[in-house]
Structure 1
Amino acid sequence: MRRDHLISHLLAALSAELADKVIFFGGTALSRTFVPDGRLSEDIDLIATGSRHETAGEAERLLVRGVRREFPGLRWDPPLSAVRDTDPAVLRTPDLLTVRVQLLDATGYPPWPTCPRELEQRYSDAPPATLTVPTVASFAGWKTTAWDHRRAARDLYDLWSLVSAGGIDVEAVRLYQKFGPTGLPPAPGIFDQAPEQQAWVRDLSAQTRLEVTAAEALEQVSRAWSKAKARAGRRRT
């Protein structure tokens, strides 16, 4: 909860100073927008819309300055400017609370559609925040790509949450086919095996109140994609 609280203040600082220079994506972005009852926030994933070098320098200064009243002594170790874009930088408080921050260069990343979205800030002392995030259909396609690549419990859980949010639909099929790795809709084989239940509980129980098993989540996500692909196919005929 303390990390989640710190992240709320960091997001407010980003919104106030860098909203036009970053895209906020990943599991934390999803849980602060379309599935607010999802997982607690763990890190902040961003894409620089312009120069990654310049944005990293601004973020290093502004994030520490923007939360210094609520979190005095916050420091970077290592800072964004000292890591590759694919590696996380780390913000640390004096009492050893940490938040990982990743700032990707936009080069080479598919331009999934985005939209400005007011974030769920969760805490009464956190200022309001609005950032550019993937659309709900983009989240569905992007998270499915991530699931296919690494088969992480958190990606499957986020996809399961997106089923309830209506994110896996005809538009998600279209976007996955356009921006996904194969040029085709998601193949049934990517949903052929759920994470082991023990790993599912271990990886997620500290972030959310689990109401579904890994096997149930996989079945519901697979069924949602099958229905969406069938509807997309009927529209083309």
Structure 2
Amino acid sequence: MRDILRSRTLEGIPHGFSTRDGLEAEDILANSVLVRVTQVHSAHAVVAEAAWDIPPEADAIVTATGGLALAIVTADCGPVLLSDNAAGVVAAAHAGWRGALEGVIENTVEAMCRLGAHPASISAAIGPTVAQSSYEVDGNFRTRFAEADHRFFASGRAGHWQFDLPGYVAERLRAAGVGRIDDLSEDTYTQTDRFYSFRRATHLGEDTGGRQISMVALPR
């Protein structure tokens, strides 16, 4: 039995966050077509009406088309799955620090609303992400953020800070008007046997190619 994480905020919508075991996706992909993008750490959100022959460069996918399973991959960045059940609109976003800072969350919500969603009716789940205690950054990194966002940085060792990426992503969701937000609070860095972590693999000199996959779909 694979270890698949789900969120109560997305109950009734086929979805899942994988672990190192991979994603047993029969319930998500049943009668569905897998849709992915070429992720480039951007704020770009695209609307999918069918699978692409050549995936576009983007970091969020939005659809109101039944039978499409939207998928993004991560290995420390924040995987965010969103749904407005009443409107029949879902989305999957890859929210690393750069994409979140530049507006990938807001662009995703905006694209959902163009398809008929309403921010207050959207539920969002933040999957396995590097936790604040595991995410050390330097002062130059912190200066990229507005002063109002410095509350997401805790003091660390001299000249360094601990950045709360999932907390920051949750705040961007709140600012976009999203009605329900669920942070699964799973740290990719510390759970060695459960999740891939690009940051941990880099620190240990290991292969950095492992990724989790997160998926959400609208039934046909």
Asked if Structure 1 and Structure 2 have the same fold, meaning a TM-score greater than 0.5 normalized by the shorter chain, the answer is: no
Of structures 1 and 2, the one scoring higher in RCO (CA 8 A, sep 6+) is 2
Structure (1 or 2) with the larger CA radius of gyration: 1
Higher helix fraction: Structure 1 or Structure 2?
1
Higher strand fraction: Structure 1 or Structure 2?
2
Taking structure 1 as the reference length, the TM-score comes to: 0.24
Taking structure 2 as the reference length, the TM-score comes to: 0.26
